[in-house]
Amino acid sequence: MRQHVNPLSRFFQLPLELPSPDQLFDDAARPIHLDIGCARGVCLMELAALRPNWNHLGVEIRRPLVLAAQRDRDRLALHNLHYLFCNANISLEGWLAELAEDQLRLVSIQFPDPWFKRRHRKRRVMQPSLLLAIAAALGPSRELFLQSDVLEVIEPMVALVELSGCFDRPSEDARPWRASNPLPVPTERERYVQEQGLPAYRVLYRRNHQPPPERDELEVAWQRVDNPADVPLDH
């Protein structure tokens, strides 16, 4: 069973100052894979061992999962891996803005908490401000990977990414959903979905050369698609 928390509660709205890559990794010059909503971090731990030439950062809003994952990371002495507790929509924007040019190479959001009802849309992990921060930090051809087993979760994410105009799908990928995970390690949720014979909906994006739109512009465009009843008549 998925245990998720309300990111809009007062506790999770407090901004945290996140450590820089120099403080997180033994070699900050390696490219970074950022996994947003990493849960217990098992997938990222396996990836860190398989890809020692990358730095891997998992961020998660459930503090007990982060503490447990970090203990495992310390036990295995994986110095290219770190986990941080934070609300991605509150604390990641500033951290992303401070990264060196082309330091961030891959962002993944896999099986996020299923806030699929429209009245809960502000609780979803992919909000316009976070997407714009990701788009600003990723250089051309760098990748954003999304997957979920809930259509009502991934479809608004896809709509938001495509409304931004900042990303393209690889021409060879199937539509509407990519057939396979481009990462060599599945998440725990993905393993469960596969074992149950259930579908997983995947999309891989690559950053193009388009500048990010203004936040207010993207907010209104997304609202028109995701919840048109709430769009003011003058927009």
Given this model, what pLDDT does residue 92 score? 94
Q: What is the mean pLDDT of each run of 10 residues along the chain (235 residues)?
A: 55 75 97 95 97 97 93 96 93 95 97 62 78 97 97 92 97 94 95 95 98 94 74 53
Residues 6+ apart with CB under 8 A from 194: 186, 200
> According to the model, what pLDDT value does residue 113 have?
72
Question: Which pLDDT belongs to residue 224?
Answer: 85
Q: What is the pLDDT of residue 194?
A: 94
Query: φ and ψ at 24, to 5 degrees?
Result: -95, -35
What pLDDT does residue 5 have?
65
**Predicted local confidence at residue 29, as pLDDT:** 96
Tell whether the torsion through CA atoms of 55, 59, 63 and 66 is positive or negative.
Answer: negative
C-beta of residue 38 within 8 angstroms of C-beta of residue 63: no
Bridge partners for 33 per DSSP? 56, 106
Domain boundaries, the chain: 25-230
Say yes or no: domain 25-230 is CATH 3.40.50.150: yes
Residue 199 C-beta-side C-alpha neighbours within 13 Å: 9
Nearest alpha carbon to residue 209 among 142, 137, 140, 160: 140
> For residue 120, what pLDDT is reported?
46
Catalytic residue among 27, 102, 113, 173: 113
The whole-number pLDDT of residue 11 equals 47
* pLDDT score for 201: 97
Quick one: pLDDT at residue 142? 98
Q: Give the count of alpha carbons within 13 A of 210, CB side only.
A: 15
Give rounded-to-5 percent helix, strand, coil for the chain: 40, 15, 45
Q: Does residue 226 carry a catalytic annotation?
A: no
